[in-house]
Every structure is written in C-alpha cells, then in structure tokens.
C-alpha cells in the first residue's frame, strides 16, 4: 500500500529534489529553459554520489536483445493498440522484475521504478529496458535510481547521452535482432 498526500504548492529547491531519489519533476516548457530545468542541471552537476561508473556489472549483448524481445512480447496493450510505451526491468541473471505500460514513455518508466521500490530490491545490478526515446529526463530517472544499464528499441538524444556518459550509465539504443548501438560505457556489454 502506498499513501500519497498532495500539497497545494511547494517551492522547488535543490534540497527538495534530493529528498527523494526517484522524485518526478514535470517541466511543461517546450524548447526553452525553465527555472526548474536550471535547478535540475545545477543539481546534477554537483551530485557526484549519483555516479555509477564504479559499478562493474557486465552482461552479454545477447541478453540485452533477449530482454528487449521479452519486453515487446509482454506489452499486450502495445500489441493491441500500437499507441503506448513499455518499460521492463530485469536483473543481471535475466529474471524479469517488472514490466509496465503507459501511454507516455516517462509514465511507463515511473511505474516500473515504483513497482521495483515496492519490492525493496536494490537497483544497482538491474537493467532498464524501454520502448521510448532515451531523453535526458528518461536517463535522469536511471541516474537517480542508480541503474547501471539502460537500453531501448528507440534512439537516444544528446541530453540522454550526455547524462549517461557523465554519470557512468551504459546507454544502448536501437536494440534489434541484428545488433544495437552502445553509446556510453561499453565495458559492461560483452559482445
């Protein structure tokens, strides 16, 4: 059981952002900087405790492909509608921890991370798989959860690649039967 209490309003500060490592921040601006985006950028630039570059987990490229295939086969809503995103989290041994779907890629990731939190499992040796683009906001969720490997059938964008590189996350995009693109920290993937 999870109880949620909504406040009327709060002033967002870096200290508030650090209270919950998986706190959701919604930025409703489009293509322009906002004060909230600047706080996130400033906070990320100074939070070296979130660096996961020391995590030496390794996994085969074949396992990553299999995780993506499994996620795709178990996202029934996508199969029925073609209009939603999926997120799956696996452990390094190949066990599925969770698979969630939502109309938004961020929501699917949030649901999956929340489900893992309810199971009190450590994030440090998990692999996050997504159907969505790997944006800075999506990668930020993995940074805050300290998930070392993030993979998607879709493309990363520059902000996602920069965050993954700066914080030690192995970022993989365009996962297909015939291969994948490893953008950052490839030492974790055995070819």
Would residue 93 count as lying in a domain?
yes
Range scoring the smallest mean pLDDT among 47-51, 125-129, 151-155: 47-51
Token pair recorded at residue 152: 């998607």
Query: Whole-model pTM?
Result: 0.77
Would residue 183 count as lying in a domain?
yes
Residues 20 and 71 in one domain: no
Q: Indicate the residue among 5, 33, 50 that finishes a domain.
A: 50
> Domain limits at 18?
14-50
Structurally, the chain folds into a number of domains equal to 2
Residues 181 and 139 in one domain: yes
Q: Which of 120, 109, 121, 115 is nearest to 160 (CA)?
A: 109
Residues 73 and 35 in one domain: no
**Could you give phi then psi for residue 82, rounded to 5 degrees?**
70, 10
Give the pLDDT score at 128: 98
Residues 46 and 77 in one domain: no
Answer for the pair 96, 68: CB distance below 8 angstroms, yes or no. no
Would residue 21 count as lying in a domain?
yes
Any idea what the CATH number is for the domain that residue 104 is in? Answer: 3.40.140.10
Residues 105 and 83 in one domain: yes
Give the pLDDT score at 54: 76
CA dist., res. 9 & res. 183, Å (int)? 39
Residues 68 and 138 in one domain: yes
Residues 34 and 63 in one domain: no
Q: Is the pLDDT of residue 26 over 50?
A: no
Residues 109 and 45 in one domain: no
Tell me the pLDDT tens digit for each residue of 70-126. Answer: 999 999 988 888 889 999 999 999 999 999 999 989 899 999 999 999 998 889 899
Residues 107 and 32 in one domain: no
Q: What is the mean pLDDT of the chain?
A: 83
pLDDT-derived band at 37, boundaries 50, 70, 90? low
Answer for the pair 138, 112: CB distance below 8 angstroms, yes or no. no
Residues 173 and 119 in one domain: yes
């Amino acid at each position: 059981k999870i109880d949620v209490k909504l406040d009327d309003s709060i002033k967002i500060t870096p200290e508030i952002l650090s209270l919950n490592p998986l706190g959701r921040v919604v930025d409703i601006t489009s293509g322009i900087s906002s004060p909230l985006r600047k706080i996130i950028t400033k906070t990320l630039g100074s939070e070296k405790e979130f660096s996961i570059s020391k995590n030496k987990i390794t996994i085969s490229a074949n396992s990553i492909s299999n995780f993506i295939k499994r996620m795709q086969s178990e996202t029934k809503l996508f199969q029925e509608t073609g209009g939603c995103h999926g997120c799956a989290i696996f452990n390094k041994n190949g066990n599925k921890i969770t698979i969630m779907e939502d109309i938004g890629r961020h929501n699917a990731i949030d649901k999956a991370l929340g489900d893992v939190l309810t199971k009190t499992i450590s994030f440090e040796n998990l692999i996050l798989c997504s159907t969505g683009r790997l944006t800075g906001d999506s990668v930020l969720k993995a940074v805050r959860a300290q998930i070392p490997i993030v993979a998607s059938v879709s493309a990363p964008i520059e902000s996602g690649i920069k965050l993954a590189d700066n914080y030690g996350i192995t970022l993989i995009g365009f996962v297909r039967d015939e291969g994948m693109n490893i953008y950052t920290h490839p030492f974790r993937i055995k070819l």
